[in-house]
Structure 1
Amino acid sequence: MNRIKLVLTLILCLCVLPMKAQSDEAVLKTIYTQALTNGHSYEWLNYLSNQIGSRLSGSLGASKAVTYTKETFEQLGLDKVWLQPVMVPRWVRGTKEYAFIEGVSGKTTTVNICALGGSVATPALGVKAQVVEVKSMEELQALGKEIVHGKIVFFNKPLPAEHINPIEAYNACVHLREQGATEAAKYGAVGIIVRSLTFRMHDLPHTGSMTYNGLPDNERIPAAAISTNDAELLSTMLKLNNNIQFYFKQSCKQLKEVQSYNVIGEIKGSKYPNKYIIVGAHLDSWDLGDGAHDNGAGVVQAMEVLHLLKKLDIKPKHSIRVVLFMNQENGLRGASTYAEAVKQNDENHMFAIESDTGGFSPRGFNFDCNDQAYNQMLSWQGLFEPYLVHSFEKNESEADVKPLKSEHNVVAGLFTDNQRYFDYHHASNDTFETVNKRELELGAATMAALVYLVDKYGIKGTKN
């Protein structure tokens, strides 16, 4: 009987062995196991997506999300939870947009569009005009005012398929969505239609932000995205007869700015409480779906990092702070407000990581840092290989943590298997049902594992 008691005691001691006495391999395995068997990320995402829904800055959904995530932080028993006020733009879509192509015979074909975020409305009766199709700003400039004036400019550039990384393909086209209205207005266009930025051929238009770059109100023209299927239809019809006309109507408007918040939760460091490791994600989303991938997944993964540390009784040496940024999608006000406060308070942010490429399987990280710090990150690559997380690239960071970059720190982004990301990006099918529970949990564990290593070893070649 005494031998049995001794064996049981030894097993119990091994199970509760302090994290600092275990190997890094063992700690990472524990983190992944905990995330996959006792994590909360999928449960939180379910509520955020299905009970709250879309969270466009300034909306009721965004306000509810602030309250929910703050209360969830408080339930985790963190050392500090607070709201950081942020003034955000409030753009509203209004009634559902409507559009059709009209042939020379007068026959009309309805097509799927959505207003781009920040666009002005059309006149009350809509806009109808002939169409000029271009694939670049250079083509628009070559046409000139003589051809463009009084017409609708149709930017029809598919995402270039030769890019293996979909983000690179997106970056090759996103300027057409963001700057297209400003440039087309210079030549007298009455509106623009932009091909949705997705590889997928379907009937769903994908929204996104655009800007007028200070253009006077009376010179601003309406801007909308058209689905990829309908972009192909419009292009084909123009090739057959370039005298066809396009009609669209949208009632969106820009209202006065309102106050919102960044939501922040923190575990205080036991040895270096004034040195911070930041885990970030943006709480806002576009209004067409429920923002499950963009960026509900990142939000709950960031929250899960704190939950895992608490659940496993890992007491970090540095302060671990999760920041849920408001207004990434149409202004980056949350990121700029937070970065300004960091500067004013002279806070030492030694490391920051963000998740914003969807709730897909993690594949690695992007690091923005000096060579010495990057080589240190590479030295941990083998620890992640059992989890198929082996892409460690030196690249720019995600938008919300980018303002925190200095020569003395490291900013990083979780890199996922994002080949399907733009199937859902900014569209109405970005919903909870499209997120795989296991993939989401693996992403949360991956970020927690990296945070653990950074906290344990610090960052070489930086002031930390």
Structure 2
Amino acid sequence: MKKSSIRKNYFFLHQVLFFFAVFAIYGQNDEAQIKSFYDNSLTQGQSYAWLAHLSNTIGGRLSGSENAKLAVEYTKQELEKLGFDVYLQPVLVPKWERGKPEEAFLRVNDKKITVNICALGGSIGTPEKGLEGEVIEVNGMNALEKLTPEDVKGRIVFLNEPMDPTQIHTFKAYGNCVNQRYSGALEAGKLGAKAVVVRSLNLRLDDFPHTGSMTYGDLAVENRIPSVAISTNDAEKLSKLLKEESSLSLYLKMSCKQFDDVLSHNVIAEIKGSEFPNEIILVGGHLDSWDLGDGAHDDGAGVVQSMDVLRLLKLTGIKPKRTIRAVLFMNEENGLRGGLKYAEEAKKKNERHIFALESDSGGFTPRGFSFDCNASYFNQVLQWKPLFEPYLIHYFKQEGSGADIGPLKSEHTVLAGLRPDSQRYFDYHHASSDTFDAVNKRELELGTATMTSMVYLFDKYGLQENSLKH
């Protein structure tokens, strides 16, 4: 027999033995229980109905807004109806308002061309009558760093670095250029710019500007400049015109304002553990959203999925060994105050979180999980992978987890993020297109069942320091 054939046979035998070893440890009961989660989520799921109310009745839930307050009240009431222990955790959050719809146009010679913009979250407004200036195009923050005040002073900086379409992992494409949105106004303001315009972080060409958080850092108030996003179609148009026209300026008008912090809340519901109540398993998403759409994908989906994890456990008769806690965080979008406050209180109470799972990547078809943990715990998780493969859940990687659960990171905690298919996520992210009709009911419910299954396994087996290696 050829060596290559021997290697193939050995590999096949190794995989078969590993598969049977897993089921010798975990048993077919887990396979049946996980099937029950999927069956019940797809036939009796509640997540889609909850999302309909959050999106269509309440709407966008920007931190500090009346809608955010309504969302806190609604989710608390719904969780109480299910019989869970529910309480509100106070947290001070930023309050920023967009004000009247933004206005913008290009002045090309004597012609006005309207363009689609939106203020970035936290931006100051323009003067009451707006502002107008010459535009300088810059291909991202690295290019901006090479400019001098003489290049920029009195001009509008147009940061036009697109997301990389060749990145299959779209969050990597986002991460590679999100700094232009977050820090663009800070760095351009240092150089004396009049305003900054940022290409929307979106992989497709459309007319929707995408908002998101930005910072002025420690920049003096007098040097702070308006910061806006421009749609990808209009970014392309502006770039083309800048190459063709010798006389071009951009007019902006926006009335956004920052107010003092206001009181809001994280919503927390839990099932107390029957054997190890001091070991906490957390599942969560963020209740706040941006104000342009209704926040259905970001992150209404994660909120209702987390709520439904608790409901599915109860529906299928699971009596958890460990305390299972759903946390609906406030203020992930423009401050992360909810996640930081939760971790602060957990530390004060000396709470032990063994596993925390966040859903904040949209309500699309689930593909798997990313895990932030040590090698031993990751090997434990890999033993469960065959249980998920019948549901086409195959992505198990050691990567990041989620922003709100990040502050809980410790040597003896596994942090995880649900990873749905992300190819369409940035079509909707932070834009007015992020609405309920963009969410598919079945895909949302598959995500709920996937999360419930992983929570169930961590509850049943806990953390094993010396997991089986393969």
TM-score of the two chains, using structure 1 as the length reference:
0.94
Q: 2 CA distance for matches of 1:21 and 1:383? A: 10
Q: 1 CA distance for matches of 2:75 and 2:146? A: 50
Aligned-pair CA distance for 1:120: 0.3
Cross-structure match for 1:298 = 302
Aligned-pair CA distance for 1:200: 1.3
SS in 1 for 2:387: helix
Aligned residue among 197, 207, 214 for 1:193: 197
Give runs of ≥4 in structure 1 deviating > 2 Å. Answer: none
Cross-structure match for 2:338 = 334
Instruction: Point out the more displaced range, 452-461 or 173-182.
Output: 452-461
Amino acid at match of 2:91: V
SS in 2 for 1:172: helix
Is it true that 1:457 corresponds to 2:454 in the alignment? no
Residues 278 and 351, structure 1, Cα contact 8 Å, conserved in 2: yes
Cross-structure match for 2:16 = none
Q: 2 CA distance for matches of 1:101 and 1:369? A: 50
Aligned-pair CA distance for 1:143: 2.7
Aligned-pair CA distance for 1:21: 9.3
Amino acid at match of 1:96: P
Is it true that 1:49 corresponds to 2:38 in the alignment? no
Aligned residue among 104, 107, 115 for 1:102: 107
Within a 5 Å distance, the mapping from 1:148-159 to structure 2 comes to 148-159=152-163
Q: 1 CA distance for matches of 2:393 and 2:88? A: 33
Within a 5 Å distance, the mapping from 1:28-427 to structure 2 comes to 28-78=34-84, 80-103=85-108, 105-427=109-431
- CA distances 1:348-381 after superposition (whole Å, capped 9, x unpaired): 0010000000000000000000001001101100
SS in 2 for 1:212: coil
Residues 28 and 449, structure 1, Cα contact 8 Å, conserved in 2: yes
Residues 131 and 242, structure 1, Cα contact 8 Å, conserved in 2: no
Q: 2 CA distance for matches of 1:461 and 1:117? A: 43
Residues 190 and 219, structure 2, Cα contact 8 Å, conserved in 1: no
Q: 1 CA distance for matches of 2:397 and 2:204? A: 27
Q: Which runs of 5+ in 2 are unaligned?
A: 1-25
Aligned-pair CA distance for 1:313: 1.2
Aligned-pair CA distance for 1:125: 1.1
Q: Which runs of 5+ in 1 are unaligned?
A: 1-19
Instruction: Give the RMSD, CA atoms, in angstroms.
Output: 1.1
- CA distances 1:220-256 after superposition (whole Å, capped 9, x unpaired): 0000000000000000000012541011110000011
Residues 120 and 227, structure 2, Cα contact 8 Å, conserved in 1: yes
- CA distances 1:331-362 after superposition (whole Å, capped 9, x unpaired): 00000000000111100001000000000000
- CA distances 1:403-447 after superposition (whole Å, capped 9, x unpaired): 101011100000001100000000001000010000000000000
- CA distances 1:15-46 after superposition (whole Å, capped 9, x unpaired): xxxxx996110000001000000110001000
Residues 159 and 198, structure 1, Cα contact 8 Å, conserved in 2: yes
Q: 2 CA distance for matches of 1:211 and 1:74? A: 38
Amino acid at match of 1:77: G
Q: 1 CA distance for matches of 2:27 and 2:365? A: 30
Amino acid at match of 1:224: V
Residues 370 and 461, structure 1, Cα contact 8 Å, conserved in 2: no
Q: 1 CA distance for matches of 2:31 and 2:456? A: 12
Q: 1:242 to 1:161 in 2, by over 3 A?
A: farther
Residues 408 and 461, structure 1, Cα contact 8 Å, conserved in 2: no
SS in 1 for 2:269: strand
Q: 1 CA distance for matches of 2:157 and 2:389? A: 48
Work out the percentage of aligned pairs sharing the same amino acid.
Answer: 59
Q: 1 CA distance for matches of 2:148 and 2:444? A: 48
Q: 2 CA distance for matches of 1:22 and 1:232? A: 55
Aligned-pair CA distance for 1:217: 1.4
Q: 1 CA distance for matches of 2:74 and 2:331? A: 17
Q: 2 CA distance for matches of 1:173 and 1:164? A: 15
Aligned-pair CA distance for 1:186: 1.1
Q: 2 CA distance for matches of 1:60 and 1:388? A: 40
Amino acid at match of 2:375: D
TM-score of the two chains, using structure 2 as the length reference:
0.93
SS in 2 for 1:114: strand
